[in-house]
Amino acid sequence: MKKIKPNGKLSEEHINKAKHNLKAADYNIQGGFSDWGVSQSYYAMYHSLLSILFKKGYESKNHECTINAVEYLIEKGKINLDLKDIAFIRTTEQMTPKDAKSLREEFQYGTKTTVNEKLLKDLLDNAKKIVEKIEIALNEL
């Protein structure tokens, strides 16, 4: 984690990348590439978290550090988001004992190409909601 000058341009680019990843996830899922849909759903949420950090004047290149930093900003009242949304990125235990990051690693680096349909739908639906909530919160900063 590095303290930088707040960067609204990079913040906007990361939220746009998040929305791009959501579209790519939809496209790949419809095309039968559900394993890539998992990765793109996770990266949509991750890029939306990066957009918060750049807006607040931080740069992170570590996934867990990024998640922890945004969680801290929420706890300190610096951004209007729900900790449950951050917990979803970290843990999707209502669907599986693995967190979203672990699911992404499993399907990105592993050999499985099919994903449980309910898990995939829940992951993508929640990713869309989280990205939308973060975009709204960014506009309030």
The confidence score (pLDDT) of residue 92 equals 45
Give, as one character, the DSSP assignment of residue 77.
T
Reported confidence tier of residue 6, pLDDT bands at 50, 70, 90: very high
What's the domain count of the chain? 1
Domain residues for the domain of 119 are: 2-140
Alpha helices per DSSP H over 33-141: 34-56, 63-75, 83-90, 100-109, 117-140
Residue at token pair 């929640």: 126
pLDDT averaged over the chain? Answer: 88
Give 39-59 as a DSSP string. Answer: HHHHHHHHHHHHHHHHHHTEE
In tens, the pLDDT along 41-52 reads 999 999 999 999
Distance separating alpha carbons of residues 37 and 20, to the nearest angstrom = 12
**Cα distances (angstroms) measured from residue 98 to each of 14, 19, 66, 129:** 25, 24, 19, 20
In tens, the pLDDT along 88-139 reads 887 543 444 455 666 666 767 766 767 778 888 888 999 999 999 999 999 9
- Residues 85-89: what's their mean pLDDT? 86
Contact 44, 135 (CB under 8 A): no
- Residues 19-26: what's their mean pLDDT? 97
**Cα distances (angstroms) measured from residue 59 to each of 2, 4, 43, 85, 102:** 5, 7, 16, 21, 23
| Token couple for 69 | 């930093």
pTM for this structure?
0.87
The confidence score (pLDDT) of residue 16 equals 98
Contact 59, 49 (CB under 8 A): no
Reported confidence tier of residue 35, pLDDT bands at 50, 70, 90: confident
| CATH code, domain with 66 | 1.20.120.330
The confidence score (pLDDT) of residue 48 equals 98
